[in-house]
A = this chain, B = another copy of it.
């Protein structure tokens, strides 16, 4: 008896460390990470099909029209979306699929796929979040950092809407917590095939 894989949305504010968690998860057997599609230009070092699927606006619109996205959204003139086809192929093969998604996209993917499981990665404290945002070193403009912190606070208010909340203190514990969730979700009686 081989059950279908499940879809897991991993979300959380910028600086919570969700990217690092996802990088660890994908090392495990039977877990795949969905690669987003975007209409923005590839940056230096980004490879099509690895970091993103880079599409033209026309290609992206065509996929929208064909119901090709589990969720999509527009930020600053660019579109971002989670392609449906590859994810559904993986789950049919019994693989679990992780979507690393902005807080805004989670509601949409859950609406389109009530069976998908949503996990909010929470920073251990606002102090740690601020330290992480500053520590990245990509942004030193105080105003930008304050804006990101304010946005993170707003996003944290959405945490109760998720199925699970995992605090990202020590990385290994956080990854183990997510793996527990993945395992336990497969054991739910509603997913059991008699």
Contact = CB atoms under 8 A, between A and B. Distances in A.
Interface of A: 120, 159-166, 176-177, 179-181, 183-185, 187-190, 192, 194
A181 B177 contact: no
A164 B183 contact: no
A162 B162 CA distance: 23
B183 A177 contact: yes
A120 B190 CA distance: 12
Nearest to A159: B189
9 contacts: A164-B187, A164-B188, A164-B189, A165-B187, A177-B183, A177-B184, A179-B180, A180-B187, A184-B184
Contact of A183 (B184, B185, B187, B194): B184
A165 B189 contact: yes
Given A159-B189, A164-B189, A165-B187, 20 more contacts: A120-B189, A159-B192, A159-B194, A160-B190, A160-B194, A161-B189, A164-B184, A164-B188, A165-B189, A166-B187, A176-B183, A177-B183, A177-B187, A179-B180, A180-B184, A181-B184, A181-B187, A183-B184, A184-B184, A184-B185
A152 B185 CA distance: 25
A161 B189 CA distance: 8
Contacts of A177: 183-184, 187
